[in-house]
């Protein structure tokens, strides 16, 4: 056999291997179905560009699956799979798992043990199990130092008309503050933040809504730490006002059409009321036109805020401030005799100093990145502006072409660095809001959340594994592991229980 022929065969085998390796599961199933259906193995391999060996492997998998499906010796529902020695320690683990993992109430845990095990226990027993776990959870919480918390997200949630103060690390989602209080005021926030400071909390800045109490408390505990306004709440308020007047416009259109139809019927009948009704129709048209202009202007201002001023990437801080001032000016002109617009303008004007704080943080990070990457700072500014443009915007491709000409082979590395800076700079206290939504699932089962219950809940939330997240680096890790960078034992083991693997 010639060397050329050997090389051709090797090349064909390599291509066949690559095609088989890249074949998705759906096509593998089709190959298996065709093979067990009686089609020629050679024809299947040739059509798919794979080896005959690969086709035989898929056929064998399908035949094995069929054998398993029709196996009469499969285990019945009553056959014992494994034995579990039920001890008091195991029952305590089950109770805690029901309360924390399954969001069960105390009485729900009692009913579960009664239904499944035929075991009767009192609510006092459940309370004692929880009380014992609370003592251990408090010690574990105290062992975690908070030096690595960089950016905090603060909020408060109310349960039975009582505030619960919440503080979460934006990067790791670690909850460093979860305290029930009698009042939500400056002294309360300041006291609990000072306690967190004793545990090592040293924030660089905080993102929170416009609540005066938490901002005043932050100034007491950490005078040098800035508190930036939450973009989400501001955009929500603007959007609500815009939708309100858009709905008013729809109602005005409906009313104008009703009056016009009524006047048309009167004109057809030749009645004398037409002149009187025509004035009403005229006023309805003027009202509709006025609301249409207002709704259009508010929708435009909302788009500017959402897509330009408060967007994560795009304009510089100075340009955003100029456009922000212009939005406030336009609202000033629109607020005559409109209370909602006036209130919105005052809220935007009051948030001006803090709401663009995230842009200053991004620009400071870009300054450091310019030195680390050895790239001119204007180049990073252009990259940020490019990322702020829509994918179907021609200007984006023109800007990208200029940047590629400057950066050449470093383009993707620099773009990835800028994207990482933007993605890791929080604009809103969404992490705290998300935690509040999780807390609701526990709070609705209990009218009172004091007595250390929040200590146990904070322990569990910080030591549970995150199964999914929009940040891939968080998946499969706990908030504590993300904060400290160190692995730890299962949360039940940390509470002092010995976990065993019963199923084989």
Question: Residues 362, 325: one domain?
Answer: no
CA dihedral defined by 95, 98, 100, 104, rounded to 10 degrees? -120
Instruction: Answer whether residue 74 shows pLDDT above 70.
Output: no
Question: Which letter, b or e, does each residue of 338-358 get, where b requires 16 or more Cβ atoms within 10 Å of its Cβ?
Answer: eebbeebbebbeebeebbbbb
SS3 label, residue 370: helix
- Band the pLDDT of 1: cuts 50, 70, 90: very low
Average pLDDT of the residues in 294-308: 92
Question: Which letter, b or e, does each residue of 407-422 get, where b requires 16 or more Cβ atoms within 10 Å of its Cβ?
Answer: beeeeeebbebbeebb
pTM strictly above 0.85: no
pLDDT of residue 142: 92
The answer to whether residue 429 is domain-embedded is no
Lowest mean pLDDT among 60-69, 129-138, 327-336, 402-411: 60-69
Q: Which strands, in side-by-side order, build the sheet including 205-208?
A: 175-180, 162-169, 151-159, 205-208, 227-229
Lowest mean pLDDT among 43-57, 72-86, 322-336: 72-86
Distance, in Å, from the CA atom of 460 to the CA atom of 483, rounded to the nearest integer, reads 15
| Strand-pair category, 162-169 with 151-159 | antiparallel
pLDDT of residue 76: 66
- pLDDT tens digits for 455-493? 999 999 999 999 888 888 898 999 999 999 999 999 999
**How far is C-alpha 142 from the chain's CA centre?**
28
Number of separate domains in the chain? 4
Q: Which residues share a beta bridge with 162?
A: 159
More confident call, 322 vs 276: 322
Averaged pLDDT of the chain: 87
Instruction: Answer whether residue 10 shows pLDDT above 50.
Output: no
- Residue 435 phi/psi, 5° resolution? -65, -40
The answer to whether residue 60 is domain-embedded is yes
- Residue 104 phi/psi, 5° resolution? -85, 155
- Band the pLDDT of 442: cuts 50, 70, 90: confident
Distance, in Å, from the CA atom of 128 to the CA atom of 452, rounded to the nearest integer, reads 12
More confident call, 75 vs 231: 231
Structure tokens at 270: 């030749």
Sorted by sequence, the CB contacts under 8 Å of residue 471 that are 6+ apart come out as 423
The answer to whether residue 309 is domain-embedded is yes
The answer to whether residue 274 is domain-embedded is yes
- Among 210, 209, 144, 204, smallest CA distance to 177 is for 144
Question: Residues 378, 490: one domain?
Answer: no
Burial of residue 218 (CB within 10 Å: 0-12, 13-18, 19+) is buried
- Compute the residue count for the chain: 504
Question: Residues 258, 185: one domain?
Answer: no
CATH of the domain at 184: 3.30.420.10
Question: Residues 379, 411: one domain?
Answer: yes
- pLDDT tens digits for 200-231? 999 999 999 888 898 999 999 999 999 998 88
Question: Residues 104, 221: one domain?
Answer: yes
Question: Residues 292, 393: one domain?
Answer: no
The answer to whether residue 325 is domain-embedded is yes
Question: Residues 89, 192: one domain?
Answer: yes
- Among 425, 433, 439, smallest CA distance to 211 is for 433
Q: Write out 335-348 in H/E/C secondary structure.
A: CCCCHHHHHHHHHH
Question: Residues 196, 163: one domain?
Answer: yes
- pLDDT tens digits for 412-421? 999 999 999 9
- Whether 186 contacts 241, CB under 8 Å: no
Tell me which of 11, 38, 69 is where a domain ends: 69
Tell me which of 69, 98, 120 is where a domain ends: 69
The answer to whether residue 399 is domain-embedded is yes
| Strand-pair category, 205-208 with 227-229 | parallel
- Band the pLDDT of 72: cuts 50, 70, 90: low
Question: Residues 400, 495: one domain?
Answer: no
- Whether 160 contacts 447, CB under 8 Å: yes
Distance, in Å, from the CA atom of 39 to the CA atom of 43, rounded to the nearest integer, reads 8
The answer to whether residue 305 is domain-embedded is yes
Question: Residues 311, 365: one domain?
Answer: no
pLDDT of residue 391: 87
Tell me which of 368, 394, 423 is where a domain ends: 423
pLDDT of residue 3: 45
pLDDT of residue 300: 93
Distance, in Å, from the CA atom of 18 to the CA atom of 49, rounded to the nearest integer, reads 9
Domain that includes residue 57, residue range: 3-69
pLDDT of residue 108: 92
The answer to whether residue 77 is domain-embedded is no
Distance, in Å, from the CA atom of 429 to the CA atom of 421, rounded to the nearest integer, reads 17
pLDDT of residue 6: 42
Distance, in Å, from the CA atom of 233 to the CA atom of 243, rounded to the nearest integer, reads 15
Question: Residues 95, 188: one domain?
Answer: yes
Instruction: Answer whether residue 101 shows pLDDT above 50.
Output: yes
- Whether 297 contacts 254, CB under 8 Å: no
Question: Residues 223, 87: one domain?
Answer: yes
């Amino acid at each position: 056999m010639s060397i050329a022929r050997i090389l051709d065969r090797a090349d064909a085998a390599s291509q066949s291997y690559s095609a088989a390796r890249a074949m998705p599961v759906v096509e593998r199933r089709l190959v298996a179905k065709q093979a067990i259906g009686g089609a020629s193995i050679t024809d299947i391999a040739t059509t798919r560009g794979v080896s005959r060996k690969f086709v035989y492997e898929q056929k064998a998998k399908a035949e094995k699956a069929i054998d398993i499906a029709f196996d009469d010796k499969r285990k019945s529902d009553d056959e014992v799979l494994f034995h579990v020695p039920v001890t008091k320690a195991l029952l305590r683990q089950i109770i805690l798992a029901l309360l924390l993992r399954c969001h069960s109430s105390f009485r729900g845990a009692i009913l579960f043990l009664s239904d499944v095990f035929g075991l009767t226990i009192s609510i006092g027993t459940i309370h004692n199990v929880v009380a014992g776990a609370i003592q251990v959870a408090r010690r574990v919480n105290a062992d975690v130092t908070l030096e690595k918390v960089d950016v905090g997200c603060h909020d408060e949630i109310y349960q039975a008309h009582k505030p619960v103060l919440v503080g979460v690390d934006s990067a790791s989602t670690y909850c460093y503050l979860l305290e029930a209080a009698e009042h939500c005021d400056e002294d309360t926030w300041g006291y609990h933040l000072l306690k967190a400071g004793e545990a090592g909390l040293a924030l660089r800045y905080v993102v929170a809504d416009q609540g005066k109490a938490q901002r005043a408390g932050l100034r007491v505990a950490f005078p040098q730490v800035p508190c930036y306004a939450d973009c989400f709440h501001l955009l929500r308020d603007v959007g609500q006002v815009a939708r309100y007047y858009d709905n008013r416009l729809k109602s005005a259109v409906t009313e104008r059409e009703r009056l016009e139809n009524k006047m048309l019927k009167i004109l057809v009948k030749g009645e004398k009321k037409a002149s009187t009704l025509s004035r009403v129709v005229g006023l309805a048209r003027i009202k509709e036109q006025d609301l249409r202009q207002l709704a259009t202007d508010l929708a435009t201002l909302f788009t500017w805020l959402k897509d330009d001023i408060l967007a994560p990437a795009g304009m510089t801080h100075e340009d955003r401030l100029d456009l922000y001032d212009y939005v406030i000016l336009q609202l000033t002109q629109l607020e005559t005799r409109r209370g909602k617009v006036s209130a919105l303008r005052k809220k935007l004007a009051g948030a001006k100093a803090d709401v663009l704080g995230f842009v200053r943080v991004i620009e400071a990070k870009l300054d450091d990145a310019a030195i680390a990457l050895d790239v001119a700072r204007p180049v990073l500014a252009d990259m940020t502006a490019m990322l702020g443009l829509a994918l179907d915007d021609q200007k984006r491709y023109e800007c990208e072409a200029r940047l590629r000409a400057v950066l050449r082979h470093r383009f993707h590395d620099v773009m990835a660095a800028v994207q990482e800076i933007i993605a890791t700079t929080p604009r809103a206290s969404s992490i705290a809001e998300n935690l509040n939504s999780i807390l609701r699932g526990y709070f609705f089962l209990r009218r009172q959340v004091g007595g250390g219950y929040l200590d146990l809940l904070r322990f569990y939330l910080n030591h549970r594994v995150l199964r999914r997240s929009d940040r891939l680096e968080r998946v499969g890790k706990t908030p504590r592991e993300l904060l400290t960078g160190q692995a730890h034992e299962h949360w039940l083991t940390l509470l002092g229980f010995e976990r065993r693997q019963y199923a084989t």
